[in-house]
């Protein structure tokens, strides 16, 4: 297990400047009144969990590192430097899939609101603009991507400029604007999410973004949400699969090929069911 390089399908861009700015002027509330100083973490966590629920492995990256990943996410990248915007544009034009959320690109690296129409330097790339936004005191029904779910806390009044509408609010007022759009740019794609999606919607967003993605053939398959499977490559070039049962109940996963147990007995395992004890961890190759 020495020298492991974790596999990753999705790269999340973390911005300390945006975190500080949004803790000073929080965009989300805790109860409709009191500002949530952890708004940045809540936005990031919503999309991170969506990727995990879709069965994707995530890593944290800088704008200069996104080119090695098929999907990149800029969650509430409020304080967006011009150099970072240029790197993201190059990533998309080269074939990457960029997921942008509300507040991304609104300000520069000093947290000064940009004079350009939002989302600022990413407007042409996203194929969408907005002049207004609203905070939502209660969740709104939203439909799109083949499911029904909710939008929470925030709504950008998105105006497509070439982007395709993927989801809309079910509301007499907000229904005039899309909740999620998609735009082709160069060889890549930009998905813009103008709200904080419910859990089902966030997961479906990542499932559909990953449909054309090439991934290693899985050695272990799970069908229950309490079991997570992650993989990494060691210094010898062998792929290891880490299987966690996060539940107090026993569970079973399926091995798609012959495997060797790395932890414990180092026994050779045939294809088929592999039992997990409560809170068990198994590592196989």
Q: What is the pLDDT of residues 97-117, one digit of tens each?
A: 999 999 999 999 999 999 999
Please determine, for residue 264, whether its predicted confidence score (pLDDT) is greater than 80: no
Domain range for 274 is 220-284
Please determine, for residue 96, whether its predicted confidence score (pLDDT) is greater than 90: yes
**How remote is the C-alpha of 146 from its chain's centroid?**
18
Please report the pLDDT score of residue 33 as a whole number.
82
Task: Tell me, yes or no, whether 108 and 163 share the same domain.
Answer: yes
Task: Characterize 69-104 residue by residue with b for buried, 16 or more Cβ atoms within 10 angstroms of its Cβ, and e for exposed.
Answer: bbbbbbbbbbbbbeebbebbbbbbeeebbbbbbbbb
For residue 120, give the DSSP letter. Answer: G
Mean pLDDT of the 155-182 span: 97
Please report the pLDDT score of residue 216 as a whole number.
80
Task: Tell me, yes or no, whether 175 and 264 share the same domain.
Answer: no
Q: Can you tell me the distance from the alpha carbon of 285 to that of 283, in angstroms, rounded to the nearest whole number?
A: 7
Task: Tell me, yes or no, whether 200 and 265 share the same domain.
Answer: no
Please determine, for residue 32, whether its predicted confidence score (pLDDT) is greater than 80: no
Max mean pLDDT range (41-45, 136-140, 226-230, 260-264): 41-45
Please report the pLDDT score of residue 214 as a whole number.
79
Alpha carbon distances (Å) from 243 to 35, 214, 239: 38, 21, 13
Confidence of residue 78 (pLDDT cuts 50, 70, 90): very high
Please write the tens of the pLDDT for every residue from 182-192: 999 999 999 99
Please determine, for residue 238, whether its predicted confidence score (pLDDT) is greater than 90: yes
Please report the pLDDT score of residue 263 as a whole number.
80
Q: Can you tell me the distance from the alpha carbon of 130 to that of 119, in angstroms, rounded to the nearest whole number?
A: 7
Task: Tell me, yes or no, whether 89 and 34 share the same domain.
Answer: yes
Please determine, for residue 217, whether its predicted confidence score (pLDDT) is greater than 90: no
* R_g of the chain computed on alpha carbons: 20
Mean pLDDT of the 238-245 span: 96
Task: Tell me, yes or no, whether 58 and 167 share the same domain.
Answer: yes
- In this structure, the number of other CB atoms found within 10 A of the CB of residue 231 comes to 20
**How remote is the C-alpha of 22 from its chain's centroid?**
19
Domain's final residue, options 179, 209, 239? 209
Nearest to 51 by CA among 96, 11, 95: 11
Mean pLDDT, the chain, whole residue set: 95
Task: Tell me, yes or no, whether 51 and 170 share the same domain.
Answer: yes
Percentage of residues in the chain having pLDDT higher than 70: 100
Q: Which structure tokens are listed for 44?
A: 């990031």
Task: Tell me, yes or no, whether 194 and 237 share the same domain.
Answer: no
Please report the pLDDT score of residue 16 as a whole number.
96
Q: Which residue pairs from 213-219 have beta carbons closer than 8 angstroms and sit at least 24 positions apart in sequence? A: 213/9, 213/70, 213/71, 214/70, 215/9, 216/7, 217/256, 218/256, 219/255, 219/256, 219/257, 219/259, 219/284, 219/285
For residue 118, give the DSSP letter. Answer: B
Please report the pLDDT score of residue 31 as a whole number.
80
Nearest to 92 by CA among 123, 67, 65: 67
Domain's final residue, options 209, 236, 253? 209
Task: Tell me, yes or no, whether 165 and 255 share the same domain.
Answer: no
CATH number of 238's domain: 2.60.40.1180
């Amino acid at each position: 297990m020495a020298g492991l390089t974790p596999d990753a399908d999705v790269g999340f861009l973390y911005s300390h400047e945006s975190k500080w700015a949004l803790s000073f002027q929080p965009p989300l509330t805790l109860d409709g009144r009191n500002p949530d100083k952890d708004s940045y973490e809540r936005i990031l966590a919503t999309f991170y969990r969506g990727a995990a629920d879709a069965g994707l492995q995530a890593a944290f990256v800088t704008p200069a590192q996104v080119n090695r990943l098929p999907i990149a996410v800029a969650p509430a990248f409020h304080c967006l430097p011009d150099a970072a915007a240029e790197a993201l544009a190059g990533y998309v034009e080269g074939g990457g899939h960029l997921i942008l959320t509300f507040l991304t690109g609104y300000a520069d690296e000093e947290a000064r609101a940009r004079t350009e129409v939002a989302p600022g330097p990413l407007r042409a790339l996203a194929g969408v603009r907005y002049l207004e936004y609203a905070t939502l005191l209660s969740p709104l029904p939203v439909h799109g991507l083949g499911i029904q779910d909710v939008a929470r806390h925030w709504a950008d009044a998105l105006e497509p400029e070439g982007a395709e509408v993927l989801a809309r609010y079910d509301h007499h007022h907000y229904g005039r604007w899309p909740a999620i759009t998609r735009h082709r740019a160069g060889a890549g794609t930009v998905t813009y999410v103008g709200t904080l999606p419910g859990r089902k919607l966030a997961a479906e967003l990542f499932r559909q973004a990953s449909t054309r993605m090439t991934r290693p053939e899985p050695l272990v398959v799970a069908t229950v949400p309490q079991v997570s499977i992650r993989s990494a490559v060691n210094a010898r070039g062998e792929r290891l699969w880490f299987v966690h049962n996060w539940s107090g109940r026993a569970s079973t996963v399926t091995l798609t090929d012959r495997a060797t147990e790395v932890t414990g007995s180092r026994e050779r395992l045939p294809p088929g069911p592999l039992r997990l004890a409560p809170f068990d961890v198994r590592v196989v190759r």
